[in-house]
Amino acid sequence: MKIAIIGRTEILFETVELLLDNGYEIPLIITSKEAPEYIKTSKDFENLAKKIGAIYIYTSKLSSKDSIEFIKECGEIDIAVSLNYSNIISKEVIDLFPLGVLNAHGGDLPRYRGNACQAWAIINAEEKIGLCIHSMIGGEVDSGKIIDREYLDIDINTKVTKCWEWMADRIPYLFLTSVQKLQKDKNYILETQSEDLKDALRCYPRIPEDGKIDWHNSNDDILRLINASNKPYSGAYCFYENKKLIIWDAELYNDDEIYLCEVGQVANINNNGSIIIITANGKLKINKIEYDGFIGKPKEKIKSIRKRLK
């Protein structure tokens, strides 16, 4: 069975290696310019193509007439596997592969379509996130028949970092099992996505400014924001003495104290280096911050209960 590779990221690179280890032929690798945070670059994909004798295409215009004609000249390739390609793939490209193009999506389709689905799921207090392999529909995003799916249980303490690590680990194997299922039965489908709009939940991109903490919110909501904004994102933040303070680790805190205060108040500075901050309905224990070039325990920078976070 011949498989084309379309896209970017180290996860796709590992997928290629796994498919090769399981006896699949990779005659074509298509990629485009990598994002700054990617570990594997287009040069890595080019070198891999040379190593395995695959044809290599570097383009951000996969749907152009020239690209389509070039792919046709590569001979029949049964299926393509795609991840994080820089543009939406057209029907004309998908139709070049008899079994279509498979894509990995970190959301429980048909809910959680779009961007930053793991972060939105944490903010939305979901109990699990989905990871789906689906057959792409040309010109559309996150639609098409679902071939395989797994779930990760999450709770209020789950950081989006864990979700990304889980996806990085599982995506190559889900691509492999999906290819194996379609090799055995070309009509295999785990689930056909509902086309009813009420069954879909579109997630739009999050930007760094979305991580701004409002201490008038509940401690539950603030903790979810901190965890949803964690690495690889830029972090949930507030301000301390007019400088940006990022919170990387926190947890709910309850000491049954009855109090009067304004939100953002530093209620306590613990011996272990953490600090207690008051929110609209309770308290948060802050364990790790980034502030003015420093990363570590907040006690190193905040030394008085006469201080507030804004």
In a domain, 310, yes or no: no
239 band by pLDDT with thresholds 50, 70 and 90: very high
- Please say which residue of 203, 234, 254 terminates a domain: 203
Taking residues 242-255, report their average pLDDT.
Answer: 97
Taking residues 154-171, report their average pLDDT.
Answer: 97
pLDDT the model gives residue 200 = 85
Domain span at 248: 208-300
User: Per-residue pLDDT tens for 4-28?
Assistant: 999 999 999 999 999 999 999 999 9
Taking residues 203-224, report their average pLDDT.
Answer: 96
SS3 129: strand
Same domain membership, residue 100 and residue 212: no
Residue 42 has, within 13 A of its CA and on its CB side, a CA count of 14
Residues composing the chain:
310
| Listed residue (11, 278, 32) closest to 170, CA to CA | 11
Indicate the average pLDDT of the chain: 94
pLDDT the model gives residue 285 = 98
pLDDT the model gives residue 213 = 98
CB 235 within 8 A of CB 246: yes
- Phi, psi at residue 210, to the nearest 5°? -70, -15
Taking residues 143-164, report their average pLDDT.
Answer: 96
CA separation for the pair 292, 296 (Å, rounded): 11
pLDDT the model gives residue 299 = 96
For the domain that residue 284 is a member of, what is the CATH number?
3.10.25.10
Structural domain tally of the chain?
2
Same domain membership, residue 174 and residue 147: yes
pTM for the full predicted model: 0.91
